[in-house]
Structure 1
Amino acid sequence: MITMDGSSLNLEQMKRILFHGERVEPCKEALKRVVESREVVEQIVSSSRVVYGITTGFGKFSDVLIPQEETAALQRNLIHSHACGVGNPFSEMTARAMLILRANALLKGFSGVRPIIIERLLQYVNEGIHPVVPEQGSLGASGDLAPLSHLVLPLLGEGEVFFEGVRRDTASVLAEKNIDPIELKAKEGLALINGTQAMTAVGVIAYLEAEMIAYQSESIAAMTFEGLEGIIDALDADVHLAREYQEQVDVADRMRKLLHGSQLVTKQGEKRVQDAYSLRCIPQVHGASWQVLGYVKEKLEIEMNAATDNPLIFDEGEKVISGGNFHGQPIAFAMDFLKIGMAELANISERRIERLVNPQLNDLPPFLSPKPGLQSGAMIMQYCAASLVSENKTLAHPASVDSIPSSANQEDHVSMGTIGARHAYQIIQNVRRVLAIEWICAMQALEFRGVFLASPAMQKWYQEGRNIVPSITEDRIFSHDIELLASWMREVH
């Protein structure tokens, strides 16, 4: 059980909740802050004090005063009008992450919601009731308004949810589970949808998958290194300590450990003086991608524990400030950076694939074919990798450099962070498939060299791969092999 308090949630805990189904609960001390904050909202309403989003309309309607008796209707109307997302739904895991992050932000006690709102969000997490949330329609400021509105609908007994793997009408699921819909009170609708939880949820899942892929890429690159009889001197610790990037040093260290005991690696001058960059610069390139991952992790863990709605309540109600923490620019930049860092892992992997299959660049059978000419072997797998890499270059265009004004120019600069996060996730899926292709080719090269000559770590990695994909003894439908390996890589946590 993970206890959430609004300030200490981390990516390791998110991994346990999302990938392993660990249950969650709110911290009792945090709920006390929530109650105190709620009392402030009720005082504002009862005294008819003019405060944005509580006794006024929203966006350009912020100068329209709302009578006390209509403050609840204001919140309900907000959710209905803003639930205009389109396209395919986010995955159940993404919706689950959104529920967690929204609850955690409200637990900080700056938002003025009742405890039941947070408790219901976490109940949905524990019960596996995941709102159907369309992927498209967010500008990333004032937060993820459209996606989060769809997240809120099931709290009201409306919209659709995924439950036990089936997409269903919310009302029927709540009736089955004996859960009563919630009626939103003053400020609660605004507090629930004014935030960055859609882009951050996608970013969290993208990061967790990217981190796993980055480690896997090193094992795959090490097998290619053996298949091409790479020059081990380039991985010498002194080379990397001389540059002092810790991530580069760490990659080189892990590569040396993976290749320890190999009889296939060579020394300078033994077969050639230098390797191509795609082998020689693995620590430099992969290490730089690890630097990106470090930056993204830092920003995500800050945002996961941030109050991002508006207005925020401070000093027991003495200060109620309308600010802009809902603006997704920090996450937009992080996601665009993640796109670039991960795309490069695929770029260099595809170049290693080319060196494995091109007979002009190695002494292996052309295209690793068992019968060159009669059988094409891995020829078109390289085409596929090249296509995925090219697609990534398009997706890697930064979303954060774009902005379109909204709400009659009141909201005149937006982040497009959710688009950036979605594209980052797409890139990561492509990267995994490119690496799966490299793994298939590297295993085949290792067979030609002699698996028994490989390092113990690579012999184990080879066997892991061969448990999923058999050796290429004749041409077959390689699409199945690529997807099987990619699926295995995604499911290993």
Structure 2
Amino acid sequence: MAEANEVILGEGGTTVDDVVRVAYGAKVVLSDDALQAMEKSFNALRKIAEDKGPIYGLSTGVGDLAKIKFSADMAHTIQENIVRSHSAGLGEPYAEEVVRAAMFARAAVLAMGYSGVNPDVVKLMVEMLNRDIVPYVPKYGSVGASGDIAPLAHVALAMLGEGDVFYGGRQVPAIVALRSELLEPIKLDGRDGLAIINGPQFMIAIAALSVHKLEMLIAAEVVNTAMLAEIVGARTTPFDERIHNVIENDGQKAVAKSLRTLLEESELTCRKRDGRVQDAYSIRCAPQILGSLWDVAKSFRKVIDSELKSASDNPLIIADEALALSGGNFHGERIALWLDFASLLCAELTNLAERHLNRLLNPVLSSLNDFLADQPGPESGLMILQYLAADIASENKVLAHPSSVDNIPVSADQEDHASFGAAAGRKILQAVDNVTNALSAELLAIAKGYRLLGAENPCKPAKEVLEKLKRILERIEHDKLSLHIALKEAKKILPDLAKFSELL
């Protein structure tokens, strides 16, 4: 039984939630079942090598060099060569939580017992995670076809005691960190080096972290929408259960129910403002818009969960039959497509947040002070928040261009199709961060809107927002404080705000 801050590797399969927990510091426990599965696979690999001739990556070269065969006795040298030659990334390093997530996801694959890997490899990966020794992994170098071979090679390099790691808040040589924790560098044999690098686990790790954040952000936007509806006095009829019961869309029904619950005791909605009988689409159609995004996010999570339980390696070692089967489970096509799909979700979220901001700031549409300024004219109020949201929304539209439609053959055309899921992963990391910033701007404007409205009894989340941002709202009155500072404060409370949606 795992402790509260532990994740067991090798029992029941790995999930998105497991990856997120390890990424942010949970300890990893390697189960006896996993150790036995790896030992059985490792022994099977040795028997296959003795009895059945060349095995890809053990007694052959890799990529187009697979046509060159050599003695299995050279395995130690060959595996170290693979690691050093493939750790060829450049660019800024991935964030530590991304690398931790990828290491854990790769360890989970190896622990399934289909890779023929020495159990000591996974033991060291687990020790590095538990002692927070995080390899320095550049962002560029993977085409998402033979897995994330360059990024994962940088992980393997650190396990050899080479390259750099993040340890104790500093970037240090890997050997220094290992020795500080009384750990010895791994001695690679068999196909250990190839086994560490031959899978799409950086893509999967990014996907897991991204969907976790996106679910929170969608939930937060549902709450933002409810509060906006109060400020503008919107009608609640579009959220009526009878409207959504005639649609087969679970996400839409869930969002509509959340909005009904959030606004059921509201004293501010349905105020008479003009002769219109319907509100703008960005409010009235929120269940249809956000519900669709919620459905995509939940489907994305299911895909990632299934990928985390899949043996992505080549060749696969079928221990019971003493077989090494070459295939393509390392290919990242599926996850690349979903990463691209998720980028569309991010673009829609920032589009919606920008439109909501416009309804609060635009003097033509809002009954509040122009641009939510305390004294419009001498003061600009929150005018520039829409500029911020517009900039973000525009970039997210660019980031929504799919990476997975590209293809550049590599390794002398032996590897003639690539998913480019790593590029999709880099895009989604930026796009999710952009969504967070756009929703923070929207939330700050909503809080200022309530303050100008003078609402005495707003909905429950609004009360919490106004309490948590009370001091910052006072300080930004009459343009007396940089909005950058206020935005950072609004950003901090998005996760707590999301809980009010009851979607998470």
TM-score w.r.t. length of structure 1: 0.96
1:51-101 deviation per Cα after TM superposition (whole angstroms, max 9, x unaligned):
111111101011111223211111100011100111000011011111111
Equivalence for 1:11:
16
**Structure 1 residue corresponding to 2:215, chosen from 211, 217, 229:** 211
Residue 209 of structure 1 contacts residue 490 of structure 1 at CA under 8 Å; is this kept in 2?
no
**Structure 2 residue corresponding to 1:80, chosen from 77, 84, 92:** 84
Q: Aligned-pair distance for 1:395?
A: 0.6
Q: Aligned-pair distance for 1:294?
A: 1.2
**Structure 2 residue corresponding to 1:199, chosen from 195, 198, 203:** 203
Q: Aligned-pair distance for 1:285?
A: 0.5
Q: Aligned-pair distance for 1:491?
A: 8.9
Residue 148 of structure 1 contacts residue 193 of structure 1 at CA under 8 Å; is this kept in 2?
yes
For residues 154 and 405 of structure 1, do their structure 2 counterparts lie closer, same or farther at Cα, with a shift above 3 Å needed?
same
> Is 1:438 the equivalent of 2:442?
yes
Work out the CA distance in 1 between the residues paired with 2:385 and 2:271. 30
Q: Aligned-pair distance for 1:24?
A: 1.1
Equivalence for 2:116:
112
1:18-73 deviation per Cα after TM superposition (whole angstroms, max 9, x unaligned):
33x22111121121111111012212333471111111110101111122321111
Give SS of 1:88's match. Answer: strand
Q: Aligned-pair distance for 1:387?
A: 0.5
Aligned runs of 1:167-178 on 2, under 5 Å? 167-178=171-182
Q: Aligned-pair distance for 1:11?
A: 1.9
1:433-476 deviation per Cα after TM superposition (whole angstroms, max 9, x unaligned):
11111111111111222231312342223323436654641113
Equivalence for 2:130:
126
For residues 258 and 461 of structure 1, do their structure 2 counterparts lie closer, same or farther at Cα, with a shift above 3 Å needed?
farther
Equivalence for 1:485:
490
Q: Aligned-pair distance for 1:10?
A: 1.2
Residue 30 of structure 1 contacts residue 108 of structure 1 at CA under 8 Å; is this kept in 2?
yes
The residue type paired with residue 357 of structure 1 is L
**Structure 1 residue corresponding to 2:409, chosen from 371, 395, 405:** 405
Work out the CA distance in 2 between the residues paired with 1:175 and 1:379. 55
Residue 313 of structure 1 contacts residue 321 of structure 1 at CA under 8 Å; is this kept in 2?
yes
Work out the CA distance in 2 between the residues paired with 1:198 and 1:418. 7
Work out the CA distance in 1 between the residues paired with 2:474 and 2:199. 48
**Structure 2 residue corresponding to 1:453, chosen from 454, 457, 474:** 457
Q: Aligned-pair distance for 1:340?
A: 0.6
Give SS of 1:420's match. Answer: helix
1:301-353 deviation per Cα after TM superposition (whole angstroms, max 9, x unaligned):
11112111100011534321110001101100110111111221110110010
Give SS of 1:17's match. Answer: helix
Aligned runs of 1:357-368 on 2, under 5 Å? 357-368=361-372
1:408-428 deviation per Cα after TM superposition (whole angstroms, max 9, x unaligned):
000000000111111111111
Aligned runs of 1:283-298 on 2, under 5 Å? 283-298=287-302
Equivalence for 2:335:
331
Work out the CA distance in 2 between the residues paired with 1:365 and 1:446. 12
Name structure 1 gaps, 5 residues minimum: none
Equivalence for 1:375:
379
**Structure 2 residue corresponding to 1:425, chosen from 411, 418, 429:** 429
Equivalence for 1:258:
262
Q: Aligned-pair distance for 1:407?
A: 0.4
Equivalence for 1:62:
66
Work out the CA distance in 1 between the residues paired with 2:384 and 2:462. 25
Equivalence for 1:190:
194
Q: Aligned-pair distance for 1:16?
A: 2.6
For residues 175 and 412 of structure 1, do their structure 2 counterparts lie closer, same or farther at Cα, with a shift above 3 Å needed?
same
Aligned runs of 1:455-474 on 2, under 5 Å? 455-466=459-470, 470=474, 472-474=476-478
**Percent of residue pairs bearing the same amino acid type:** 35
Q: Aligned-pair distance for 1:483?
A: 2.6
Equivalence for 1:320:
324
The residue type paired with residue 163 of structure 1 is Y
Name structure 2 gaps, 5 residues minimum: 1-5, 500-504
Work out the CA distance in 1 between the residues paired with 2:32 and 2:454. 61
Equivalence for 2:355:
351
Work out the CA distance in 2 between the residues paired with 1:451 and 1:317. 72
Residue 48 of structure 2 contacts residue 323 of structure 2 at CA under 8 Å; is this kept in 1?
no
Residue 233 of structure 1 contacts residue 268 of structure 1 at CA under 8 Å; is this kept in 2?
no
The residue type paired with residue 16 of structure 2 is L
Moved more, 138-147 or 23-32: 23-32
- How many residues get paired? 492
Q: Aligned-pair distance for 1:430?
A: 0.6
Moved more, 5-14 or 368-377: 5-14
The residue type paired with residue 72 of structure 1 is H
Give SS of 1:173's match. Answer: helix
Residue 101 of structure 1 contacts residue 304 of structure 1 at CA under 8 Å; is this kept in 2?
yes
TM-score w.r.t. length of structure 2: 0.94
The residue type paired with residue 442 of structure 1 is I
Work out the CA distance in 1 between the residues paired with 2:449 and 2:324. 65
Equivalence for 1:160:
164
Work out the CA distance in 2 between the residues paired with 1:333 and 1:62. 29
Give SS of 1:320's match. Answer: strand
For residues 106 and 470 of structure 1, do their structure 2 counterparts lie closer, same or farther at Cα, with a shift above 3 Å needed?
farther
Work out the CA distance in 1 between the residues paired with 2:325 and 2:493. 49
Q: Aligned-pair distance for 1:406?
A: 0.3
For residues 227 and 39 of structure 1, do their structure 2 counterparts lie closer, same or farther at Cα, with a shift above 3 Å needed?
same
Q: Aligned-pair distance for 1:376?
A: 0.7
Residue 44 of structure 2 contacts residue 319 of structure 2 at CA under 8 Å; is this kept in 1?
no
Work out the CA distance in 2 between the residues paired with 1:73 and 1:206. 38
Residue 310 of structure 1 contacts residue 322 of structure 1 at CA under 8 Å; is this kept in 2?
yes
For residues 227 and 458 of structure 1, do their structure 2 counterparts lie closer, same or farther at Cα, with a shift above 3 Å needed?
same
